[in-house]
Structure 1
Amino acid sequence: MTELKSASETRMRVGGMDCASCAAKIENALLRVPQVTEVNVSVAAGTVTVRHDGADIDALGARITGLGYKVTPADEKGIRAAQGQGGASHDHDPGDSHGHDHGPTDGSWWRTSKGILTIASGTALGAAFLIGKLVPATEKWAFLVAMMVGLIPIGRRAFAAALSGTPFSIEMLMTIAAVGAVFIGASEEAATVVFLFLIGELLEGVAASRARASIQDLTKLVPKTARLEENGQVSEVQADTLVVGSMIQVRPGDRIPADGTIVAGESSIDEAPVTGESTPVRKGPEQNLFAGTINGDGLLSVRVTAAAADNTIARVVRLVEEAQESKAPTERFIDRFSRYYTPGVVVVATVVAIIPPLLFGGVWSEWVYKGLAILLIGCPCALVISTPAAIAASLSAGARRGLLLKGGAVLEQIGKITVACFDKTGTLTAGKPVVTDVLSFGSLEEDVLRLAAALETGSSHPLAIAILAEASKRGISVPPTSGSQAIGGKGVSATVDGQRVFLGSPQAAMELAVLHLEHQGRISALNDEGKTVSVLVIEGTAAGAIAMRDEPRPDAAQGLKLLTDAGIRTVMLTGDNRRTAKAIGRSLGIEVQAGLLPQDKQRIVGEYQAQGYSVAKIGDGINDAPALAAADVGIAMGGGTDVALETADAAVLHGRVADVAAMVDLSKRTMLNIKQNITVALGLKAVFLVTTVIGLTGLWPAILADTGATVLVTMNALRLLKPSRT
């Protein structure tokens, strides 16, 4: 069968599960299996995860297929594909008894079992109408036959669900209402109601397919084939056969088939399909690439860093599917409410059907009819799906933007945060220094940078890399050196163009040359801005200086402003020195607490929580781990690394500070959507309940109140898949 992570956890993909009623039936059935301790069902992902103490795996599959669903392997790393042995027959046709198998998300609805059953029921209803007009004496029987075409599969599902622990399923309520209508002489209406019910289920399936496809479509971004470089030869192979360390060639215009690092070549990379960035990013050797992005104008040699099952897109899809199995507090409340709500509806329907005729002389057929209509009105599908549909759509929409939230509880909580605590290095800043200023003390700026770059050639020190990058950016030709010598803790010296040149700290430079007060003042001002300054000395004369700093991310100021505008307090918690941190903080307009150890950050998070704040901690997921764990929501910043994807409660995949504000906005829009859904679900039922009791509406409007509300709620939730206009 299908196992994941440990012997006590089994994950299965379930075909045809596309509504809240489906999820409830499967959950109840599995919880009745001995040794099962917990069941998590995701309608949106079409998956079920069962935690158990050594339960019979085949028995789990048999319970699901017994309800009429199809069990298929979960496509994840480390999962053994199900073979359909024993009772868990994976070749079972769910259309035989369930009718929920709507087939692949990209298939035509009329080819699915549900579509075929709906068409058959509609055809039978149309034929019954014609026969009734042509031969009036057979009208009752014609509509009875038409009703049975759709009701027999529904009744089978109702019976199977009742045996598995769900006696008050929507199928059972539908069956009782339809059979009851026949007994009071409303066979035409009963047949119509069955047909409308099937249409509603079909629309639910189509909507669920669309939601499920929204995240699965990401996997289609990765090409099926790759150009493998081996022994000087290039051959085309299946992309899923690539292993870590493989060398591949990516031509201009091709999609990149795997996560990797550029070994040779330079090109503009269009990351819009994965990150949403509209502007291509220029990348060269040693820079990382995402699978599914598009190579622009250069031929690249790339070393594969992740197998197909572990590339960024595959892990995003896996993470979102697992997150959809985690219920939000609102969703858990609705689930508990519905357990009492549905039996309550049955009681109300029974009272409406019996009390008026017994106590007040009402007409039995009239009040039984109203009671049957109330049964249909009271079906909880729209209410139960109102929350998970919105959460699933939001998780999918977020993932497509690189906003990874690990479950509905995180999605709900992040909209409530009142303080956002940011790490500095690698979170608010890019994590690597860049040259910010080139000072000339007599020589030309270009000469200062040219000679400094010559001294730093071949060094892997971050400051050296910054100087070399700036020289390359300005198109400066770097001369050769001789007699290079590293002076520990001070700098580096060498002979360049026949002159002895030194580059190092201002203190070390003052040992070799005189730094005028004016120059010292300029260096001090740069230091006050949190910049590191290296001074260039040529033959005992100070020639200039270069200032470097780990600069804020391009969107950092705007991202922090978005949070502030949303009423969220922003704070920098950093282990960096106070002067540097204050300088960055001033430029970004953020409160600063500097010189902190990891335990200090954790303590400060706890202090904010004690003051009543809801705290989000945003960091790189490694040295911020204690604070990330302590916060109400821990958000890891990263570029697709395992840490960014697998630690904390959420991850900003593409390292944009503004994406934290986007997470908050997504949460708030989701909660508003859920409130709208609950209002629609309960509001429609309340209206039709009143109109039914006073005799204005009957059975077929009642079923529209249920299936119509379910479709409206689902379609409203799917609006969250569209990008926010904020």
Structure 2
Amino acid sequence: MSKAKALENEKNVYRVQGFTCANCAGKFENNVKKLPGVQDAKVNFGASKISVYGETTIEELEKAGAFENLKVTSEKTVGPSSERGREEKEVKEEKVPFYKKHSTLLYSALFVVFGYLSANVNGDENIVTALLFVASMLIGGLQLFKVGLQNLLRFEFDMKTLMTVAVIGGAIIGEWAEVAIVVILFAISEALERFSMDKARQSIRSLMDIAPKEALVRRNGKESMIHVDDIVVGDIMIVKPGQKIAMDGLVVSGYSAVNQAAITGESVPVAKTVDDDVFAGTLNEEGLLEVKITKLVEDTTISKIIHLVEEAQGERAPSQAFVDKFAKYYTPIIMVIAALVAIVPPLFFDGSWETWIYQGLAVLVVGCPCALVISTPISIVSAIGNAAKKGVLIKGGVYLEEMGALKAIAFDKTGTLTKGVPVVTDFNVVNKQVNEKEILSIITALEYRSQHPLASAIMKKAEEENISYSDIVVEDFSSITGKGIKGIVNGMTYYIGNPKLFKELATSNFDKNLEQNVTTLQNQGKTAIVVGTDKEILAVIAVADEVRESSKEIIQKLHQLGIKKTIMLTGDNKGTANAIGGQVGVSEIQAELMPEDKLNYIKQMRSEYGNVGMVGDGVNDAPALAASTVGIAMGGAGTDTALETADVALMGDDLRKLPFTVKLSRKSLNIIKANITFAIAIKLIALLLVIPGWLTLWIAILSDMGATLLVALNGLRLMRVKE
């Protein structure tokens, strides 16, 4: 067993409550890594989770997070009671009144108000005024000071270290009122940061609430409401009209229209009848359905989506990696700059020690990287959550960013640009003396015995026209390898196959007109099937894989979005490929490709364009999907292969989500860049105020808090991007 696999076997996932910032999450991760028995740990700040590789206890984890008073719960569900217990715990936490949740902040603000009242009555220098401001500072900043001092002793420099040094320095030079206000504003800034991240995470929590927690199940002839954790594979679930479906399963009785928008993003309800799949979290709109359970609650499609989206939020995007690296060096640099600001002017330019120490402290406050650190994660969490609600599963921040940078997109033909289901498009009877319905029933009776993929299209045509074929007796049925089939009906031998077969039979009426007709059908991307006896041709049937109604519109939209090249890849012959490619409007067509040819072509495109996307069904296109910059799979709902192999999955098998995903990605990139630029620019502007000596603690903390708030609100805009 490899080391990676061994570690994966020892992996335990825990939910964490109480993260105030991304920096704190990083510190918690480092603390957990140092615990005995822990080999590695990885915090997912976006999903508020930690993956621990090795052995430890919840008590040890909470000790590691004591600096933030973090609460840890195991994600493992031992049974229904533990799941319900966790739900009840979450509900209780949500119901905590606002004034209790922020009581320290409110008391701190109250003492500041009393301090200013005392200053007006007793004067600024009065001991009562000073004590009121000190009380406010201690109430509002006790947790901050504890963590900041610990960090200082360990030479760990984060935003709390900066704030602690600034507050202590401000207190030493007697700026009690300003220091108290700085503490309050910093606490408000942290609360806003926490609120913004919770708002972004709510998009995932809302996914968790989609599926009901109980279902009506029939066991041993009795019907009863059972918690989803107690339902087993093979149970029969009864879903009444207007109810949500609680589990994945297969319809065994009934007919209804099911709204699958929650899973696939489809706006139109889908008809469901016997042998159709249904998914947990979808809404049964019309009839009563009896559903045989096919998956346990943790294996349902909605559970997999939630898990993959949470994992995706933890994947660091390139911009986030840049911010993390930048922040690592940025904080110590700010401390050096602050020290130079406080020391250099008094030592070398006769400046006032009090004035320049104050300026140095203000530099420390303005240097807090809150806005910078939150700029990327809040944008990624918001965008991935929004995409998941609309039926697009993006499996990481890196793919979210790369989607917007695509220059070319390749499409598999069958099942992607086309529906992947053959249909009869033309049925021309050559011999007008032959009854059309009679010959179609004979053709269907023969095709019913065939294994050819196109036989299903002919059978479907007969069923649509209510033509009976099951009572027709076929004798001496046989397959003619590579050419067609034959069989005797009512003493007459009939042949069905390609034109080559009838040329060999030398039938009397295979003339130039008929050959022209066959060629025209083939040039239209259709497969021509000829029907006749050994003496004459009776009919010509054309079968084709139907192009999706949306394909042409999607290709146009992608070109309008600036995608330089759209390519159709197919194993079909050039005639069929050119017909379908021309119909949908792709800029290049590559036909007669084997899977390895598709892979080589994607590699060639990457060397030419850099960023290339590949859209396929996630099964036979797996090599090409893996070789592309971003692999996009069709039909993620219920398709494990698509969910596992692709970087992005279009859950509803709907290409119309592709331009939306590109647009969302570009908007995300723009917002992330704007956030990072703004967060750095506001710091630089505030730091420039040091030169004329205009920077105050007030300006410093307000610039930091304002930047954090604006960056958070800008990131949350991604939750509202529409299709």
**Fold match, TM over 0.5?**
yes
Identity percentage of aligned residues: 36
CA drift at 1:376: 0.8
1:116 alignment partner in structure 2? 103
CA drift at 1:378: 0.5
CA drift at 1:212: 0.6
1:603 alignment partner in structure 2? 600
Q: Using a 3 Å threshold, how does the CA distance of structure 1 residues 614 and 551 change in structure 2: closer, same or farther?
A: same
Q: Does 1:11 align with 2:13?
A: yes
Preserved CA contact (<8 Å) 2:262 2:390 = no
1:418-437 counterparts in 2 under 5 A?
418-437=407-426
TM value normalised by structure 2: 0.87
Moved more, 436-445 or 187-196: 436-445
Q: Does 1:521 align with 2:512?
A: no
CA drift at 1:293: 1.6
Preserved CA contact (<8 Å) 1:132 1:142 = no
For residue 432 of structure 1, give the secondary structure of its aligned residue in structure 2: strand
Alpha-carbon distance in 2 for matches of 1:534, 1:202: 70
C-alpha root-mean-square deviation of aligned residues, in Å?
Answer: 3.5
Letter in 2 for 1:126: V
Matched length: 701
Q: Does 1:702 align with 2:700?
A: yes
Q: Does 1:290 align with 2:290?
A: no
For residue 421 of structure 2, give the secondary structure of its aligned residue in structure 1: coil
1:96 alignment partner in structure 2? none
1:577 alignment partner in structure 2? 573
CA offset digits 1:635-670 (Å, max 9, x no partner)? 222332111111132222222233333332222111
CA drift at 1:57: 5.9
Q: Using a 3 Å threshold, how does the CA distance of structure 1 residues 82 and 39 change in structure 2: closer, same or farther?
A: farther
For residue 656 of structure 1, give the secondary structure of its aligned residue in structure 2: coil
Q: Does 1:403 align with 2:392?
A: yes
Letter in 1 for 2:48: G
Q: Using a 3 Å threshold, how does the CA distance of structure 1 residues 82 and 257 change in structure 2: closer, same or farther?
A: closer
Q: Using a 3 Å threshold, how does the CA distance of structure 1 residues 224 and 539 change in structure 2: closer, same or farther?
A: farther
2:65 alignment partner in structure 1? 65
2:680 alignment partner in structure 1? 682
Q: Using a 3 Å threshold, how does the CA distance of structure 1 residues 660 and 63 change in structure 2: closer, same or farther?
A: farther
1:481-560 counterparts in 2 under 5 A?
481-485=471-475, 486-489=477-480, 490-491=484-485, 504-507=496-499, 515-517=509-511, 518-535=513-530, 543-560=538-555
2:636 alignment partner in structure 1? 639
Alpha-carbon distance in 2 for matches of 1:538, 1:13: 72
CA drift at 1:440: 3.5
Alpha-carbon distance in 1 for matches of 2:90, 2:216: 36
Alpha-carbon distance in 2 for matches of 1:419, 1:79: 48
CA drift at 1:232: 4.8
Alpha-carbon distance in 2 for matches of 1:106, 1:59: 23
2:236 alignment partner in structure 1? 247
Letter in 1 for 2:704: D
Q: Does 1:27 align with 2:14?
A: no
CA offset digits 1:674-721 (Å, max 9, x no partner)? 111012211222222233553445212211211221121111111111
1:152 alignment partner in structure 2? 142
For residue 707 of structure 1, give the secondary structure of its aligned residue in structure 2: helix
CA drift at 1:108: 5.7
CA offset digits 1:546-566 (Å, max 9, x no partner)? 322222223222222222332
Letter in 1 for 2:496: G
2:717 alignment partner in structure 1? 719
CA offset digits 1:400-435 (Å, max 9, x no partner)? 223222222222222222222222222222222122
Counterpart among 610, 620, 623 of residue 623 in structure 1: 620
1:183-262 counterparts in 2 under 5 A?
183-262=172-251
Preserved CA contact (<8 Å) 2:410 2:567 = yes
CA offset digits 1:471-523 (Å, max 9, x no partner)? 4555x35364142454324347586xx89795732456785976553444333
CA drift at 1:34: 6.7
CA offset digits 1:592-623 (Å, max 9, x no partner)? 22222222222222222333532222222232
CA drift at 1:176: 1.9
Preserved CA contact (<8 Å) 1:105 1:213 = no
CA drift at 1:161: 4.5
Counterpart among 332, 347, 359 of residue 370 in structure 1: 359
Preserved CA contact (<8 Å) 2:686 2:700 = yes
Alpha-carbon distance in 1 for matches of 2:451, 2:458: 11
Alpha-carbon distance in 1 for matches of 2:629, 2:464: 43
1:127 alignment partner in structure 2? 114
For residue 317 of structure 1, give the secondary structure of its aligned residue in structure 2: helix
CA drift at 1:346: 0.9
Extract unaligned runs of 5+ from structure 2: none
CA drift at 1:301: 2.5
Q: Using a 3 Å threshold, how does the CA distance of structure 1 residues 271 and 103 change in structure 2: closer, same or farther?
A: closer
1:318 alignment partner in structure 2? 307
Alpha-carbon distance in 1 for matches of 2:528, 2:274: 28
CA drift at 1:567: 2.7
CA drift at 1:132: 4.3
For residue 242 of structure 2, give the secondary structure of its aligned residue in structure 1: coil
Letter in 2 for 1:580: T
Q: Using a 3 Å threshold, how does the CA distance of structure 1 residues 559 and 337 change in structure 2: closer, same or farther?
A: same
Moved more, 358-367 or 181-190: 358-367
Q: Using a 3 Å threshold, how does the CA distance of structure 1 residues 551 and 714 change in structure 2: closer, same or farther?
A: same
For residue 6 of structure 1, give the secondary structure of its aligned residue in structure 2: helix
Moved more, 352-361 or 330-339: 352-361
CA drift at 1:316: 1.1
Counterpart among 39, 42, 63 of residue 40 in structure 1: 42
Q: Using a 3 Å threshold, how does the CA distance of structure 1 residues 239 and 539 change in structure 2: closer, same or farther?
A: farther
Moved more, 290-299 or 144-153: 290-299
